[in-house]
Amino acid sequence: MNKQCISELIQDFLQYLEIEMGRSVNTVRNYELYLTRFYNMASEDLGHEMMPEDITEDMMRKYRLKLNRFIPPEHHERLTPATQTYYLIALRGFLKYLARRGIDSLDPALVDLPRTHRPQVTFLHFDEIQAMLDAIDLNTETGLRDRAIIELLFSGGLRVSELCKLNRGDINLNKFEFVVRGKGSKDRPIFIDESAASRVRDYLAVRHDSLPALFLNNSKNSGVPDTSGDYRRLTPRSIQRIIEKYTRAAGITKHVTPHTLRHSFATDLLMNGADIRSVQSLLGHSNISTTQIYTHITDPHLKDVHKKFHSETN
């Protein structure tokens, strides 16, 4: 039986991710990019086709050095430590796959992930969000759309990618809840308040089309038949520009993105007494440590301690 080389095994692994693990097309595409670049960088010093036994600790050290210095053509600057971690996670997953198949290679446990510092969480207080909403002209279809977008992001804690994928039929405006498919193709419930639901209704009431997408841009059909209407579906970048527009109009100097509204959603829940496990579920975080980035700014106990022991009147 002929032994498979690494390039063949990578293709097997990608098929395994898509078919057996049910990973999304985007995830598989990213893994293919990361592993192809590993293969190209790590095999430069080999005089033969890379085999599983060629992946050693020494190869890993050289690869990590190259990865740290690598400037991808699509970015024109070095990879951030966080992005380098994604490359190593993909490689470790590939090595685990080899181990499960009984193929001798580097122990996945020897692929150490670098410690990365999480960026400081930026969130908006309710009065800042209200200032953004007050800056919207509700006499236009665009204004009604933008108001619905901002309220939906803050009320439901949606990721911008989840918002962009929404169709009219996905959201129940009477029960104030619906389901989205988030990261890792996991479904989770989204709950919204009556105000957000009302704003979506107002926007849909002035629409004069039958396109399924919940939020549309203002472009017209280029003449290419598209019954899905996706040519007019808002993109994450479009929503980013919408958020930037009203951030400036409200006089907010923070760097605000659609994800800032998701941070604000989580922060508001915790500040009002929600337990962190519930917030984890509402955000769709698979790991509680991801949700814990909010606790240092929302723990009411810390505020009580400061007030009790660091008051000017003491």
Local structure of residue 194 (DSSP, 8 states): H
145, 233, 262, 263: which one is catalytic?
262
Is 183 among the residues known to form the active site?
Answer: yes
Is 255 among the residues known to form the active site?
Answer: no
147, 233, 263, 285: which one is catalytic?
285
Q: Name 14's Cβ contacts closer than 8 Å, sequence gap at least 6.
A: 28, 31, 32, 35
Rounded-to-integer distance, Cα 213 and Cα 231, Å: 10
Rounded-to-integer distance, Cα 148 and Cα 119, Å: 28
23, 145, 147, 159: which one is catalytic?
159
Q: E strands within the chain? A: 171-172, 177-181, 187-191
Three-class SS of residue 200? helix
Is 39 among the residues known to form the active site?
Answer: no
- Hey, CA dihedral for 52, 40, 114, 182, is it positive or negative? negative
183, 207, 232, 245: which one is catalytic?
183
Place of tokens 């527009």: 245
The count of other CB atoms within 10 Å of the CB of residue 104 is 11
The count of other CB atoms within 10 Å of the CB of residue 230 is 10
Residues belonging to the active site: 159, 183, 259, 262, 285, 294
